[in-house]
């Protein structure tokens, strides 16, 4: 059921350009990366209950993939209040081990963007817990990018919701696919507004904040986003469907 191969959550055509970790220098100016976000069932980072993946090439959104995950652990009501996903809702959806092959195809040997290190740590913990080999990819933290790209965010304000509010990008919060696409937009906007390419951000993200360009952040419309690759990367609507609706779509029963 993950990805569904139909509707708004499938991995679409155009998935090419796999890179090795020794090829980072080739991506200095290009916007070729994959963004990921996770939701969890409870405070344990390994309790992954939803994964969203968005693929960008040359600044354009070219593919997206999403699956709910049965974490086989209890759901915490505080977590449910944040994302609305329940244990009942994910019943019948795959476990993490059942989608690991697809995740490797989407993420291995790629630059993978996540907003903060939580998603990387959560995947590592979940894989370790199940004896699964960790992903082989190059991680880029879009929160670190924001701290260094724009003035005024060194010590705070670089949360995904606040950044997207300032940039003027509307998305579905606490939905893994919506958040993944938003993290991708943050990186695209930082590249556009600072002139620093992806390879540059891979290096700058690991340096002190003061090493970044720290320019004034501008809303996407004010940054000339009405044209070109960045516009193509941010214009796709985040249509979000819950697990029950997706289950109906997978059976071909769309209700008319």
Distance CA 187, CA 43 (A): 27
CATH of the domain at 131: 3.30.420.10
Range of the domain at 122: 7-240
Q: What is the pLDDT of residues 33-89, one digit of tens each?
A: 999 999 999 999 999 999 999 999 988 999 999 999 999 999 999 999 999 999 999
Is there a domain that residue 147 lies in? yes
Is there a domain that residue 1 lies in? no
For the chain, helix (H) and strand (E) counts, in that order, are 10, 5
pLDDT of 150 > 90? The answer is yes
Is there a domain that residue 251 lies in? no
Is there a domain that residue 253 lies in? no
Distance CA 42, CA 48 (A): 9
Contact 114, 36 (CB under 8 A): yes
pLDDT band for position 31 (cuts 50, 70, 90): confident
> What is the domain count for the chain?
1
Is there a domain that residue 246 lies in? no
Share of the chain above pLDDT 90, in %: 70
Q: How many CB atoms lie within 10 A of CB 108?
A: 14
Q: What pLDDT score was predicted for residue 173?
A: 87
């Amino acid at each position: 059921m993950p990805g569904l191969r139909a509707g708004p959550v499938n991995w679409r055509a155009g998935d090419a350009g796999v890179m090795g970790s020794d090829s980072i220098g080739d991506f200095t100016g290009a916007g070729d990366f994959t963004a990921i976000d996770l939701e969890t069932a409870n405070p344990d980072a390994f309790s992954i209950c939803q994964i969203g993946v968005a693929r960008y090439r040359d600044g354009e959104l070219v593919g997206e993939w999403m699956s709910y995950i049965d974490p086989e652990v209890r759901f915490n009501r505080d977590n449910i209040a944040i994302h609305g996903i329940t244990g009942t809702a994910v019943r019948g959806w795959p476990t993490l081990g059942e989608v690991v092959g697809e995740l490797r195809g989407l993420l291995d040997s790629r630059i993978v963007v996540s907003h903060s290190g939580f998603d990387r740590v959560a995947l590592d913990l979940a894989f370790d817990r199940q004896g699964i080999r960790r992903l082989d990819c190059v991680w880029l933290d879009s929160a670190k990018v924001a701290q260094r790209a724009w003035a005024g965010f060194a010590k705070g304000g670089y949360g995904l919701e606040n950044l997207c509010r300032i940039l003027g990008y509307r998305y579905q919060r606490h939905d893994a696919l919506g958040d993944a696409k938003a993290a991708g937009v943050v990186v695209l906007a930082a590249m556009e507004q600072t002139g620093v390419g992806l390879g540059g951000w891979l290096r700058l993200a690991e340096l002190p904040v003061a090493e970044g360009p720290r320019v004034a952040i501008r809303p996407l419309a004010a940054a000339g986003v009405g044209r070109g690759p960045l516009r193509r990367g941010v214009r796709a609507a985040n249509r979000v469907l819950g697990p029950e609706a997706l289950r109906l779509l997978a059976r071909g029963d769309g209700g008319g």
